[in-house]
Structure 1
Amino acid sequence: MSTCLIHNVRIFSGGPEPAPAAILVRGGAIAAVLDGAVPVQEHADRVLDGGGQLLIPGMIDVHIHGADGFDMMDGRPESVEAVSLACARTGCTSFLATSVSSSLDDLAAMIRSVKRTVGREPGARIAGLHLEGPYLNAKRKGMQNERFLRHPDEEEMAWILREADPLVRMVTLAPELPGGLEMAGRLRERGIVVAVAHSDATYEEAKAAFRGGASHVTHCFNGMRPIHHRDPGIVVAAMEEAHVSVQAIVDDVHLHPAIVRLLYREKGADRMVLITDALQAMGLGDGEYRFGGHDVTVAQGVATLRDGTLASSTVTMNEALAKTAKAGIPLADAVAMATRTPADVLGLPNKGRLAPGADADLVLLGDDFGVRWTMIGGELAYVQV
């Protein structure tokens, strides 16, 4: 069994500042975390010098639609593979392939393409599927295509789960729709994370959903009833429920930095998850795209529909991490929000942490938050040229 020693790195190991360390990797897992102040005498088949840079666990994106010009809703395994590579390049080692509201045929094609790719990903590993829709409220549809929005349908969902088995890890729905609460409860019983978004739920309806199976909020503040002092809505309900975690798109567009700080103060690093919500423009930049059945324009990195509605994001996970720290969040907590917390939300105890026995999914970051290299399962999946 080959052994890799990664030395001359800094890691967060419980304190607010990164400390010198070395990591011993064996058989695709972390074998030991060594104090960097102690001379390293471990024998290894391979040695990587981190150059004093920051080493973090691989980031986990629970909400991504596409990258590098590839949209995972097109039903092609090649698109899923391209997203896997783009994730690895940007410091993400696991991701949920995320759908948008569509016809059942298109969703089935997307599911099949993901299933064909699992186990042979060229980069980041597929942790499962995130179904964003189609059981969403047209009043808060955002960029979701209203033509495909519908009320929760238990028979249809049962068919989807059979088709996708066992990959569905998260479902975003609007719990106030007829049958929404019942579906949330049944999904939760199956161990699926139920998230709320694209919803016009009142405070009371959201509280009922969080008591009845929902435990997560997709792209918090976006695509939902806003906070009003006489109508608190979903966000306040989520802030009051200790078990509820929230996603944040930290791209300087979807959330003002003050709102990022507010979410952090209310939910903490243990209940706040950084996501990209990226469409296929991630990695390509400005231009014209077709996404979710819409024409989308990306200008200065901001994706919008013709009417100005935000249409996903172009931010990468390492950029989201940098912007979160710039917003005033302690870097150790920002790292947790991109690594350990999403792993905990998904029930992946061997991901998102630097500890003996954890998967050797590691990312070396430069001072500019650029990814120097990404390791997945003990093997280098990306190296900056």
Structure 2
Amino acid sequence: MSVCLIRNVRLWIEAEPVLSDVRIQNGRITEIRPAEGTGLSCSDADTVIDGRGLLLIPGMIDVHIHGADGFDMMDGTLQSMDAVSRACARTGCTSFLATSVSSSMEDLLGMLASVAEYSGQETGARVAGVHIEGPYLNAKRKGMQNERYLRHPDANEMAAILEHAGSLIRMVTLAPELPGGMEMVSFLKERGIVVSVAHSDATYEEAKEAFQCGASHVTHCFNGMRPIHHRDPGIVVAAFEERHVSVQAIVDDVHLHPAIVRMLYREKGADKMVLITDALQAMGMGDGTYQFGGHRVTVSQGVAKLEDGTLASSTVTMNEALAKTVRAGIPLRDAVRMATETPADVLGMPAKGRIAPGMDADLVLMDDGFNVIWTMVDGHIVYSSEHE
């Protein structure tokens, strides 16, 4: 039996953060008690951690990340997977979806094989599965996706991919207005896969049809889709009207204006708004030139662009996205929920994203500047700023 006691941390028990103690046994939270008075006994604890009055939040979950620290998960190597796992942990993320870009079938299958082999060997954040972004995307809204590989939805091809991947695939982003798109939405929904809409020129009516067919998510909302117009409301307004639809937000002060972040929050609420990074390999690396999705990408002042000026993913981290969301005017408790509980619910991971008895001990200790002090996965610290 392994018992860990975390003492003197701020966490939400009711309406406000309360100084508390948290008991963990065999990787799960077993008890929480206010630190005032007696607190929790440490007599049976193998490890006691002093939280120093800092904020303890659930481990963040990134449902959309392509790479980090100079590594792209489309490389199809265990080294790339491990680099991203470690980078996620360093930034307060404890679970992530390895996310593809539109590519050759060979490269996609290679990426899936590397994820399958790496799962269970993580040294940092856990791999929660795969998010396939493309190739069933609309060239008109391709963004940085390589048009060479874009094609119409093909049920036979997807069936072959699923047979190869087993249960790894948790989310697929597609353009439902393409020929075969609505059928693909239903095909994936029937198999328990989250169907997300983006890189799409769907009209309001087409988006509503997709949401009725089983699509329930919008990838990097506002980006890579038909914009809102007062006579042509498009995907975003359709998503606002469908209560079951959740939306991703890249809160990096580039992809979304803070006023749009606030609007998303007002329209969808903390339970349907998901913070993501959409990070490429430049995350954690700084400015420079990179290869991503078959393109030359230049990062300048943290902004990644193709040679024609098109935005090419992001370099933001989850803890930075959390900080920027709060600075945009979102209450801290709700911002935390968007990075933890809501993505856990989207992916159907009931033991993640919350601090409560019975939940997995995936936890992050942060200071008031949203810097990560340490990250814990399954009750074990996998990153500590004090040991860098």
- 1:321 equivalent to 2:322? Answer yes
Q: 1 CA distance for matches of 2:261 and 2:23?
A: 35
Q: 1 CA distance for matches of 2:21 and 2:102?
A: 45
Q: Structure 1, residues 171-217: CA drift from partner, whole Å, max 9, x if none?
A: 00000000110110110111100000000000000000000010000
Within-5 A mapping of 1:70-219: 70-219=71-220
- 1:29 equivalent to 2:41? Answer no
Q: 1 CA distance for matches of 2:167 and 2:249?
A: 26
Q: 2 CA distance for matches of 1:13 and 1:307?
A: 49
CA deviation after TM superposition for structure 1 residue 2, in Å: 1.4
Q: 2 CA distance for matches of 1:360 and 1:129?
A: 22
Structure 1 partner of 2:19:
20
Aligned residue for 1:166, secondary structure, equals coil
RMSD of the TM alignment (CA)?
0.6
Q: 2 CA distance for matches of 1:218 and 1:12?
A: 29
More deviation, 29-38/109-118: 29-38
Letter in 1 for 2:194: V
CA deviation after TM superposition for structure 1 residue 287, in Å: 0.2
CA deviation after TM superposition for structure 1 residue 295, in Å: 0.1
Q: 2 CA distance for matches of 1:289 and 1:123?
A: 24
Structure 1 gap ranges (5+): none
Letter in 2 for 1:8: N
CA deviation after TM superposition for structure 1 residue 77, in Å: 1.2
Letter in 2 for 1:328: G
CA deviation after TM superposition for structure 1 residue 162, in Å: 0.7
Aligned residue for 1:208, secondary structure, equals helix
Q: 1 CA distance for matches of 2:242 and 2:286?
A: 38
CA deviation after TM superposition for structure 1 residue 336, in Å: 0.2
Structure 2 partner of 1:262:
263
Q: Structure 1, residues 55-99: CA drift from partner, whole Å, max 9, x if none?
A: 000000000000000000011111011000000000000000000
Q: Structure 1, residues 288-329: CA drift from partner, whole Å, max 9, x if none?
A: 000000000000000000000000000000000000000000
Q: 1 CA distance for matches of 2:136 and 2:36?
A: 54
Letter in 1 for 2:208: K
CA deviation after TM superposition for structure 1 residue 18, in Å: 1.4
Structure 2 partner of 1:6:
6
Q: 2 CA distance for matches of 1:23 and 1:282?
A: 32
Q: TM-score, normalised by structure 2?
A: 0.98
Aligned residue for 1:312, secondary structure, equals coil
Q: 2 CA distance for matches of 1:287 and 1:39?
A: 53
CA deviation after TM superposition for structure 1 residue 133, in Å: 0.5
Letter in 1 for 2:49: L
Q: 2 CA distance for matches of 1:275 and 1:121?
A: 20
**Equivalent residues of 2:153, 2:178 under 8 A apart:** yes
Structure 2 partner of 1:45:
46
Structure 2 gap ranges (5+): none
Q: 1 CA distance for matches of 2:106 and 2:331?
A: 44
Identity %: 72
Structure 1 partner of 2:68:
67
Aligned residue for 1:220, secondary structure, equals coil
Q: Structure 1, residues 223-254: CA drift from partner, whole Å, max 9, x if none?
A: 00000000000000000000000000000000
Structure 1 partner of 2:339:
338
Aligned residue for 2:121, secondary structure, equals coil
Q: 1 CA distance for matches of 2:363 and 2:37?
A: 21
- 1:350 equivalent to 2:351? Answer yes
1:76 to 1:41, Cα distance in 2 relative to 1, 3 A: closer
Q: Structure 1, residues 335-367: CA drift from partner, whole Å, max 9, x if none?
A: 000000000000000000001110000000011
CA deviation after TM superposition for structure 1 residue 12, in Å: 1.7
More deviation, 130-139/40-49: 40-49
Task: Count the aligned residue pairs.
Answer: 384
CA deviation after TM superposition for structure 1 residue 147, in Å: 0.3
Q: 2 CA distance for matches of 1:368 and 1:154?
A: 47
Structure 2 partner of 1:239:
240
Letter in 1 for 2:2: S
Letter in 2 for 1:6: I
Q: TM-score, normalised by structure 1?
A: 0.99
CA deviation after TM superposition for structure 1 residue 25, in Å: 0.4
Q: 2 CA distance for matches of 1:175 and 1:288?
A: 33
Q: 2 CA distance for matches of 1:370 and 1:360?
A: 20
CA deviation after TM superposition for structure 1 residue 20, in Å: 1.0
Letter in 1 for 2:99: T
Moved >6 Å (runs of 4+): none
Q: 1 CA distance for matches of 2:36 and 2:302?
A: 42
Q: 2 CA distance for matches of 1:279 and 1:261?
A: 25
1:41 to 1:265, Cα distance in 2 relative to 1, 3 A: closer
CA deviation after TM superposition for structure 1 residue 37, in Å: 2.0
**Equivalent residues of 2:33, 2:40 under 8 A apart:** no
CA deviation after TM superposition for structure 1 residue 41, in Å: 4.0
Letter in 1 for 2:48: V
Q: 1 CA distance for matches of 2:312 and 2:264?
A: 22
